[in-house]
Amino acid sequence: MSTSRTGTATWLRHAAQAKREAQARGLARCPLCGVWMDYEVGKRPNSAEADHIRPHSLGGSDDIDNIRVICRRCNQSRGNGLKRPGRQRQRPIKRIELAKPARSGAFPAPPA
């Protein structure tokens, strides 16, 4: 079964390496959308992030040759093309006391 691999030491090491190499190569713009990428600050829409070229779900590996650097926004919108199996939050269902229906004939007769 496939689990999230983006937290493994291998991935993190290779992701950092890919970003260093991309920066050293002079990859300043996101190859997908062309935005100027920020290598220094994370969690921004234009932050440089490592991405699996071939997604894990399709058998892609964490190897450095399967990693490219794109901006965070592209990385997030791509999402392997698959919906992440996020944990579903379950809300407790409120128990609603059903109002007792008025018995037929309980209504006053309409004025004559």
Contacts to Zn ion by CB under 5 A: 30, 32-33, 71, 74
Closer of 15 and 30 to Zn ion (Cβ): 30
Q: Which is nearer to Zn ion, 32 or 64 (CB)?
A: 32
Contact, 38 vs 54, CB < 8 A?
A: no
- Shortest approach of Zn ion to residue 31 CB, angstroms? 8
- Strands (E) across 1-112 are located at 48-52, 67-71
Minimum distance from CB of 72 to Zn ion (Å)? 8
To Zn ion, the closest distance from the beta carbon of 30 in angstroms equals 3
Which are the contacts of 14, defined by CB distance < 8 A and separation ≥ 6? 50, 62, 63, 64, 67
